[in-house]
Amino acid sequence: MLKKHDEVVVKIVEVGKEALCKGITEEGLEVFTRYAIVGEKVKVKIFKTDPLYGDVIEVIEPSPFRITPECKYFGECGGCDLQMLPYEKQLEFKKSLLVKEFSTIPDFDISVIEDVIPSPRQFYYRNSVMFRVNPKKKKIGFLKRDTNIVIDIDECKIASEGINYALRKVKNQENFPQHVFKVRTTLDGDVVVNLIETDEFQDRPVIETITLDGTTYRFRISRESFFQVNSFAIPIWLKQIRRLIENSEYDRSLCLDLYCGSGIISFFVRDLFEKVIGIEVSKTSVEDGIYNISTNNIDNVEIILGDVGNTLPQVKIPDIIIIDPSRVGIEEKVINIINQNLTKEGKPKKIIYSSCNYETQVRDIKLFHKAGFKVSKVIPIDMFPQTHHIEVIALLET
Q: Which residues are catalytic?
A: 356
370: left (phi over 0), alpha (psi -120 to 50) or beta: alpha
Q: Which of 319, 331, 313 is nearest to 273 (CA)?
A: 319
Helices (H) and strands (E) in the chain, counts: 8, 19
Separation of alpha carbons 20 and 7, rounded Å: 19
What does the DSSP 8-state code read for residue 18?
G
Separation of alpha carbons 395 and 75, rounded Å: 36
* Helix or strand run (H / E) with residue 308: helix 308-311
Separation of alpha carbons 148 and 162, rounded Å: 26
Separation of alpha carbons 158 and 127, rounded Å: 9
Residue 76 burial class via C-beta count within 10 angstroms: exposed 0-12, middle 13-18, buried 19 and up: middle
Return the exposure string of 270-286: e unless at least 16 CB atoms fall within 10 Å of the residue's CB, then b. Answer: beebebbbbbbbbebbb
Backbone angles phi, psi at 30, to 5 degrees: -85, 130
What does the DSSP 8-state code read for residue 272?
G
Q: Is residue 183 within 8 Å of 166, Cβ to Cβ?
A: yes
Separation of alpha carbons 390 and 382, rounded Å: 5
Q: Is residue 317 within 8 Å of 288, Cβ to Cβ?
A: no
Q: How far is CA 369 from CA 250, 343, 362, 397, in A?
A: 20, 13, 10, 10
CB atoms within 10 A of CB 247: 9
Return the exposure string of 356-367: e unless at least 16 CB atoms fall within 10 Å of the residue's CB, then b. Answer: bbbebbbbbbeb
Separation of alpha carbons 32 and 2, rounded Å: 13
